């Protein structure tokens, strides 16, 4: 099987959207080289799921703590059908606080605005600043990018179907 055949079979297995989708990707610039692997794998996987990279807008913020406000402002524009957040929280003194605060705030935004928000904000137990540690996190973020793209596409398809059922009076 060649690459073209593989790409065609991947496209065939993913449902297409009835309406155009637009996604915002909000990424912290803290440890940009590590977090970028999430964005790159997200873009590749979301394209396989029928959302072109040109339909994804990138927004960069200083750190993970700044993500929720940007996500809220973007959600309120109603321009985006989904928003993805990616960041790395490593400061052991505030790691749990920041991660919990960010996740809780992202959940609040999606419930208030009805725009789905997905998190790839990662808090490792130990942050090894060696090259090996950074490589491990890059691979982890790459896997997270694929996972968050899958969750994003499947949720958008589910919401598209549900909203159609609501509009038709089925639900």
pTM over 0.75, yes/no: yes
Give yes or no for a contact between 40 and 142, defined as CB atoms under 8 angstroms apart. Answer: yes
CATH of the domain at 145: 3.40.50.960
Which residues sit opposite 120 in a β-bridge? Answer: 86
Residue 10: its pLDDT value, please? 52
Which is higher by pLDDT, 5 or 117?
Answer: 117
Considering the domain boundaries, does residue 14 fall inside one? no
Average pLDDT over residues 150-164: 94
Q: Rounded CA gap, 21 and 169, in Å?
A: 24
Considering the domain boundaries, does residue 85 fall inside one? yes
For helices 67-76 and 95-113, angle between their N-to-C axes, nearest 10 degrees: 10
Considering the domain boundaries, does residue 4 fall inside one? no
Report phi then psi at 50, rounded to 5: 75, 25
Q: Any idea which of 37-41, 46-50, 75-79, 123-127 has the lowest mean pLDDT?
A: 123-127
Give yes or no for a contact between 97 and 65, defined as CB atoms under 8 angstroms apart. Answer: no
Residue 127 in 3-state DSSP? coil
Q: Rounded CA gap, 123 and 28, in Å?
A: 13
Which residues sit opposite 56 in a β-bridge? Answer: 23
Q: Rounded CA gap, 44 and 73, in Å?
A: 26
Q: Tell me the per-residue pLDDT of 81-140, one tens digit each, with 9 for 90 and over.
A: 999 999 988 765 655 677 788 899 999 999 999 999 999 988 776 666 777 777 888 898
Angle formed at CA 98 by CA 96 and CA 101, multiple of 5 degrees: 100
Count how many Cα atoms sit within 13 Å of the Cα of residue 43 in the half-sphere of its side chain: 14
Q: Rounded CA gap, 33 and 138, in Å?
A: 8
Considering the domain boundaries, does residue 156 fall inside one? yes
Task: Count the domains in the chain.
Answer: 1
Task: Look up the domain containing 73 and give its range.
Answer: 19-167
Q: Tell me which H or E stretch contains 118.
A: strand 117-122
Considering the domain boundaries, does residue 153 fall inside one? yes
């Amino acid at each position: 099987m060649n690459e073209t055949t593989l790409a065609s079979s991947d496209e065939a297995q993913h449902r297409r959207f009835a309406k155009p989708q637009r996604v915002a990707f909000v990424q912290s610039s803290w440890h940009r080289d590590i977090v970028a692997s999430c964005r790159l794998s997200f873009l590749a996987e979301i394209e396989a799921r029928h959302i072109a990279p040109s339909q994804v807008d990138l927004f960069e913020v200083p750190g993970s703590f700044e993500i929720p406000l940007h996500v809220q402002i973007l959600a309120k524009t109603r321009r985006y059908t989904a928003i993805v957040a990616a960041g790395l929280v490593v400061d052991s003194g505030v790691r749990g606080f920041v991660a919990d605060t960010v996740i809780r705030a992202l959940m609040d935004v999606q419930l208030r605005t009805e725009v789905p928000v997905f998190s790839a904000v990662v808090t490792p137990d130990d942050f090894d600043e060696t090259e090996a540690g950074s490589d491990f996190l890059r691979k982890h973020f790459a896997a997270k990018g694929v996972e968050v793209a899958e969750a994003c596409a499947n949720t958008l398809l589910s919401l598209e179907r549900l909203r159609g059922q609501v509009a038709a009076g089925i639900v």
